[in-house]
Amino acid sequence: MSLNKVTMIGNVGTDPEMRYTPSGAAVTDFRLAVSRRFSTRDGNQQEETEWFTVTAWERLADTVNQFVTKGMKVYVEGRLKSRSYQGNDGQMRFSNEINAQTVLFLDRGGTPQWNEEQGGGAASAPRQEAPSDPAGPETPSDVEELPW
């Protein structure tokens, strides 16, 4: 058994670019910046940012192209793909890409979410807000309905 799955939350660094394969499949790419903050040994705060290319296909590509914009905070779930290529200067370059299966838009209330496994049905569903009751669900049946 094997598993290739990544989940990331970060900020969109570029507006999406959509194109089509020769067979007509939609493909959309955008850059994602994922940062972490940490303290050094001498107590200074430091931030480190990793950049990833996110690739979405078919209906997810259409949705991402329509709704994602530079600066948005998004949750991305998918497969990690590493590739190498030769740069214009002749040097070998390496990149990590995420082949997206799920993209959730986190910082805009009422903005669509999309999950490839749902066949696009969630593309028009608004983001659910957290319940206003801090005590949590009122009945055990509410707990059973949670997606996790």
* Residue 60 predicted with pLDDT over 70: yes
Query: Is the pLDDT confidence value at 17 over 90?
Result: yes
Looking at residue 5, what DSSP letter applies? -
Report the topology of domain 6-144.
OB fold (Dihydrolipoamide Acetyltransferase, E2P) (2.40.50)
**Which residue, chain included where needed, has tokens 């940012």?**
49
CA distances from 65 to 49, 80, 92, 138 (A): 24, 21, 30, 39
Q: Rounded mean pLDDT of 102-124? A: 59
Angstrom distances, CA of residue 118 to CA of 35, 90, 93, 105, 126? 29, 43, 35, 16, 15
> In the prediction, which pLDDT does 22 show?
95
What pLDDT is recorded for position 27? 97
Q: Give 11: exposed, middle or buried? Use CB within 10 Å, 0-12, 13-18, 19+.
A: middle
Largest pairwise CA distance in the chain: 63
Identify the pLDDT of residue 107.
80
Average pLDDT, the chain: 79
More confident site: 111 or 86: 86
Query: What integer pLDDT is reported at residue 94 of this predicted model?
Result: 87
Residue 100 has pLDDT above 80, yes or no: yes
